[in-house]
Amino acid sequence: MSRPTLADVAARAGVSAKTVSNVLLGRRYVAEATRASVLVAVAEVGYTVNEAGRGLASGRTGRVAVVVPMIYQPYFAEVAERLILALEEHGLTTTLRIAHDTAAERDAVLGITTPDVDGVILCPHGLSPEVLGDAVPPRPVVQLGGGIMPTFDCVIMGEREGFRAMAEHLLDTGRRRIALIGTGPAEAPQGSRFAGYLDALAAHGIALDERLLITGSDWDRRASGYEAVVGLLQTGVEFDAVMCFNDAMAVGALRGLRSHGLRVPQDVAVTGFDDTDEAEFTTPPLSSVSPEQEEMVAATVRMLIERIGGRDELPRVVHTGAHLVPRASSAPAAQDG
């Protein structure tokens, strides 16, 4: 038995095939009585929509590109999964793309590597207004995380306030020599975290000691945190806490301290950022900052769907929060066990 066609539905409803197509595409100018008649005919003949053909007719594919710099970093893997599931709830499928450098991010935003999607969600690692230049994305783009891009909608996490809250937490537990492990502190978006660190030091009247600023080779790998803390130990500079730009580096720092006979938190406190699932299962459990992933994902998906639906206005910026998740790795120095 052959599959029912659009013409079969049209014949049953007594309308043209074009009218049936208009109904199935949800176009508003079809009379309600006609719409109801077509939908009844669809059910009676057992017609199912050919999604590929529907996409061609409507100019939409029902697919969104989620672009991340890597998935070996737990934060990006977790955010990608949240985005895919959230988009699925809206009937959208996902193409996951890895953009390993700023050029690849630019290509994804401009549709060079994402030509067959209705929109793009970018979790950036280095894209900046300078990199994008005057180029205009051909389809809706929403950026999740990173710095503000003037060309498209952005969801900005609370990096500065989150890092300040963590630094103040360490200071409140009696730490005074807080090392910072990240990339170059002046770089964006990591610069926001460095600014939060400086805010807390200033509020407590503590001068910055640049010897405590350690640059890792790759701020997304555990090995970089390990190498950074071992290098700091070799300098002989005293420190009683280590703040890492993310949980991945903090995991490496924990191992580096332990391998050199230092106890966490009795000798040195260690903290991360992102509050990934891994943080709960380190030894000891890792204090971290939650950048409100659920809130960020919800705002990102909402704005993208609005843009795909035709919302036309100046680029928007949504600022989400951040909150401290203290665990055993940053307990007061006097605590034993």
Query: What is the C-alpha separation between 143 and 153, in angstroms, rounded?
Result: 6
Query: What is the C-alpha separation between 250 and 330, in angstroms, rounded?
Result: 12
Tokens of 289: 């900052």
Instruction: Summarize pLDDT for 32-83 with one digit per residue, the tens.
Output: 888 888 888 888 888 775 544 444 445 678 999 999 999 988 999 999 999 9
pLDDT greater than 80 at residue 183: no
Long-range contacts of 83-90 (CB under 8 A, 24+ apart): 83/121, 83/144, 83/297, 83/300, 83/301, 86/297, 86/298, 86/301, 87/301, 90/301, 90/305
pLDDT of residue 31: 84
pLDDT of residue 334: 64
Query: What is the C-alpha separation between 276 and 74, in angstroms, rounded?
Result: 6
**Mean pLDDT, to the nearest integer, of 96-113?**
95
> 159-290+325-330: what fold?
Rossmann fold (3.40.50)
Long-range contacts of 92-95 (CB under 8 A, 24+ apart): 92/62, 92/63, 92/64, 92/118, 92/305, 93/62, 93/63, 93/64, 94/63, 94/64, 94/65, 94/66, 95/63, 95/64, 95/65, 95/66
Beta strands in the chain (DSSP E): 63-68, 93-98, 119-122, 141-144, 153-156, 178-182, 213-215, 241-244, 269-271, 288-290, 317-319, 323-325
Superfamily of domain 6-58: lambda repressor-like DNA-binding domains (1.10.260.40)
- Name the band, by pLDDT with cuts 50, 70 and 90, for residue 177: very high
For residue 122, what are the β-bridge partners? Answer: 67, 143
pTM metric for this prediction: 0.78
Instruction: Summarize pLDDT for 192-232 with one digit per residue, the tens.
Output: 889 999 999 999 999 999 999 998 777 778 999 999 999 99
Percentage of residues in the chain with pLDDT exceeding 90?
69
Query: What is the C-alpha separation between 249 and 244, in angstroms, rounded?
Result: 6
Give start-end residues of each CATH 1.10.260.40 domain in the chain. Answer: 6-58
Find which of 209-218, 263-272, 307-316 is predicted with most confidence, using mean pLDDT: 263-272
**Mean pLDDT, to the nearest integer, of 154-162?**
94
Give start-end residues of each CATH 3.40.50.2300 domain in the chain. Answer: 63-157+292-322, 159-290+325-330
Which of 3.40.50.2300, 1.10.3720.10, 3.40.190.10, 3.90.1150.10 is the CATH number of 63-157+292-322? 3.40.50.2300
Query: What is the C-alpha separation between 274 and 294, in angstroms, rounded?
Result: 12
Find which of 9-23, 28-42, 85-99 is predicted with most confidence, using mean pLDDT: 85-99
Residue type (1 letter), 252:
G
* Residue 268 buriedness (CB in 10 A; 0-12 / 13-18 / 19+): buried
Helix 293-308, helix 74-89: angle, nearest 10: 50
pLDDT of residue 189: 44
Query: What is the C-alpha separation between 191 and 219, in angstroms, rounded?
Result: 13
